[in-house]
Amino acid sequence: MDKSSIKRLLEALKNADELIRNKATTELWRIWFEQKGVAGLEAIRRSENWRQFGEVAKAEAVLNELIEDLPDFAEAWNRRAVLYYTLGQYKKAAKDCEMVVKINPFHFGAFHGLGLCYAALGEYREAIKAFQNALEIQPYAIENQRLILECTAKLS
């Protein structure tokens, strides 16, 4: 997909019409997952299957190999961040989220995840910044607005 199409999808995230926003969100996730073709997508699916069956080490191994083979595949880093987050390894998850947004500075999911990691670590100012970054891309994301309020309250 060309950059102008992605730009249009990113603009659609700011549309007042919820249906338009939801379609754009779904399409962006599809693009991100399919960025490296069938092989990348299949590896992510294999990792997700391992994770669902409780085989965390195997899930991580698949993602580690995928990242080693395709270091510019943002969604591979993002999936590993999700894995680490679910394991309570918030610093490792945050590092992977940071890599995602370095590769794809419009990845609202990674900014959201980064905020969750910082909040879990008690780093509320950093969490707020991450949620604000996510909101710049997806301004109608009520969950990020709510999390900013929660983090702000914890600073008081």
Non-local (6+) Cβ contacts of 6 within 8 A are 28, 31, 106
Percentage with pLDDT > 70 across the chain:
99
Confidence at residue 29, expressed as pLDDT on a 0 to 100 scale? 97
pLDDT above 90: residue 80? yes
Cα distance between residue 52 and residue 50, in whole Å: 5
Tokens 């249009």, located at residue: 8
Lookup result for tokens 């926003």: 21
pLDDT in tens, 93-102: 999 999 999 9
Residues in the chain: 156
- Which tokens hold the place of 19? 């249906």
Count CB-CB contacts under 10 A for residue 33.
17
* Residue spans per domain, the chain: 3-155
- Could you confirm whether domain 3-155 is CATH 1.25.40.10? yes
Interval 116-149: pLDDT, tens: 999 999 999 999 999 999 999 999 999 999 999 9
When pLDDT is cut at 50, 70 and 90, the band that residue 1 belongs to is low
Q: What is the tens place of the pLDDT at every residue in 7-62?
A: 999 999 999 999 999 999 999 999 999 999 999 999 999 999 999 999 999 999 99
Closest CA to 93 of 70, 66, 120: 120
Residues 75, 82 contacting (CB under 8 angstroms): no
Task: Output the pLDDT for position 48.
Answer: 96
The distance of Cα 148 from the centroid of its chain, to the nearest Å, equals: 17
Tell me, what's the pLDDT at 110?
A: 98
How far apart, in whole angstroms, are the C-alpha atoms of residue 86 and residue 20?
31
Q: What is the rounded distance in angstroms from the CA atom of residue 108 to the CA atom of residue 34?
A: 17
Q: Is residue 154 over pLDDT 60?
A: yes
DSSP state of 106: T
